[in-house]
Amino acid sequence: MTRAPSSRSSRRRLLSIGTMFQSDGDGPQVVANVFEALGEVAVAPASSPIEAILISMAKFDDIVDLVRAADSIRRLDPTVQIVAVVDEPPVSEIQAHVDFQVARPVDTKSILDLLDGRMTPAQATPNDAVPKPANAEGTADPQLPEPSLDQESWIPVTPDSSDGGFGDTDLVEALLYSPKQMRERAVHIITQQTGISDLQLLEQEKPTSTPVRFGGKTFGHLFAGQTAADDLRPWANWLARWLALEDAQSTLRQMAYRDELTGAWNRRYLNHFLSESIEESKRLRRQLTVMVFDIDDFKSFNDHFGHDAGDIILRETIRLLGSVIRNGDRVCRIGGDEFAVVFADLEAPRSAGSTHPDSVEKIARRFQAQIGRMRFPRLGLQAPGTLSVSGGLASYPWDASDPAGLLHVADQRALESKRRGKNFLTIGPGASFTREDDTPPSPTGPPV
């Protein structure tokens, strides 16, 4: 894989999944597993990002886990470089998923030299002809460990899906890529292992159900009509740990994409959501609008009342905006008092043929008017009109056809609003067009 472009060479923040260095003093930060690594990446501030993550491959059977870990990290932050620590590089099956492969033993200096380009990595490009290690059948496909069931353990060990069912590997995939399927898959695994056909995971307790509990939290209750609670308890313990992991991962996911202060989505989410929304708009041939705005003279509020007062204003502004936008729209904080709203309206109409009656312009102006009526008694801001916003709106396909272009046009129009004075919106033609209109406005015509 081509090395991801990064300006992080001067910043030395490395993670190691497991201990790989002789000395911990000058080595990277050690985390226990890929889930902890994802958490560190998710909460890393822009001033101190994770530059690289080291993942060990101790044996050939670890290939699948390493590839999934690397791909998961890249989905969260594609700028993080992945270094695979192997016995004999290169391993051809992983080279398309990592930036570098290095041989054991490793030390801090060699890793830093590698990241800074001062050491030639023992890595082959995906197109190089590298002999593939063969397994007993002569094929190079990596094989997962053989299924096993540990009868001595109070936590069951489930097989992988190579026998036609589901296994722990499938739960990891659900956890990372489709969390909504996590519980269904887990219950299916228990069913296939126990043969209990009427197994259910209930929210409410029943007389013969078994609580699924871990760390003081109950995630549900396992129930099967003809099965005793004691027979379900080992599986309830197993399931509880997976659901606790799902709960922790959900929290990390929220931390990765939410602004902690206001609860709005952050810039990372904006980039992802806007790209997907534009593709959806292309497919459905409908408009999409982005509004960029900030609070007029926000610095003066911070200077006069303090930053706590400024935080209150930011939170109340987002709360109000959330009450006027539609279900499919998203509010993102992209700076101190700067926000972007994606008017995507991805939700389907409530009934066949129905459309939302409001244009984006009407929604934006309603928000602007309500901001002007807000009062903050705790701050001594009683009179209406104390707070105002200025912004700009840009629409697909009239103003641009890509995320960067739309944000740029919206930002330029927001600057134009600032030049015209406070409490002003500069609006392009697309924001005034609704799906109820017969024809869209001219791309060069004035707003309606």
Domain parsing of the chain, residue ranges: 14-115, 161-257, 267-432
d(CA 238, CA 258): 31
pLDDT, greater one: 320 or 386:
320
The reported pLDDT for the residue numbered 50 is 87
- Please confirm whether the linkage preceding 105 is cis (ω < 30° from 0): yes
Torsion angle (degrees, nearest 10) of CA 360, 366, 368, 371? -140
Instruction: Assign domain 267-432 to its CATH superfamily.
Output: Reverse transcriptase/Diguanylate cyclase domain (3.30.70.270)
Q: Which two tokens stand for residue 54?
A: 């080291």
Averaged over 51-61, what is the pLDDT?
87
The reported pLDDT for the residue numbered 80 is 86
Q: Collapsing DSSP states into helix, strand and coil, what is residue 256?
A: helix
**pLDDT at residue 149 is higher than 60:** no
DSSP state of 136: T
CB 39 within 8 A of CB 252: yes
| CA distance to 42, 60, 85, 126, 144, per residue, from 66 (Å) | 19, 10, 10, 17, 12
The reported pLDDT for the residue numbered 382 is 60
Helices (H) and strands (E) in the chain, counts: 11, 13
Distance from the first to the final alpha carbon of the chain: 50
**pLDDT at residue 8 is higher than 70:** no
pLDDT, greater one: 181 or 253:
181
Average predicted confidence (pLDDT) for the chain:
76
The reported pLDDT for the residue numbered 439 is 36
DSSP H helices in 219-345? 229-257, 267-284, 298-305, 307-324
Averaged over 413-418, what is the pLDDT?
92
The reported pLDDT for the residue numbered 53 is 93
The reported pLDDT for the residue numbered 157 is 44
Kindly report, residue by residue over 263-301, the tens digit of the pLDDT: 899 988 898 899 999 998 888 888 899 999 999 988 888
| CA distance to 9, 86, 103, 108, per residue, from 25 (Å) | 20, 23, 21, 10
The reported pLDDT for the residue numbered 278 is 92
Residue with token string 């998710």: 42
Kindly report, residue by residue over 21-30, the tens digit of the pLDDT: 655 456 788 9
pLDDT, greater one: 174 or 142:
174
φ and ψ at residue 136, rounded to 5 degrees: -65, -30
The reported pLDDT for the residue numbered 341 is 94
Averaged over 121-147, what is the pLDDT?
34
φ and ψ at residue 170, rounded to 5 degrees: -65, -35
Averaged over 29-39, what is the pLDDT?
86
The reported pLDDT for the residue numbered 82 is 92
Confidence of residue 167 (pLDDT cuts 50, 70, 90): low
Bridge partners of 290, per DSSP, are 342, 394
Confidence of residue 47 (pLDDT cuts 50, 70, 90): low
The reported pLDDT for the residue numbered 119 is 58
**pLDDT at residue 415 is higher than 80:** yes
What is the identity of the amino acid at 333? Answer: R
Q: What share of the chain has pLDDT > 90, as a percent?
A: 18
Averaged over 7-13, what is the pLDDT?
50
Kindly report, residue by residue over 359-394, the tens digit of the pLDDT: 788 889 999 988 888 877 766 666 566 788 999 999
Q: Collapsing DSSP states into helix, strand and coil, what is residue 389?
A: strand
Averaged over 98-121, what is the pLDDT?
80
Class of domain 14-115: alpha beta
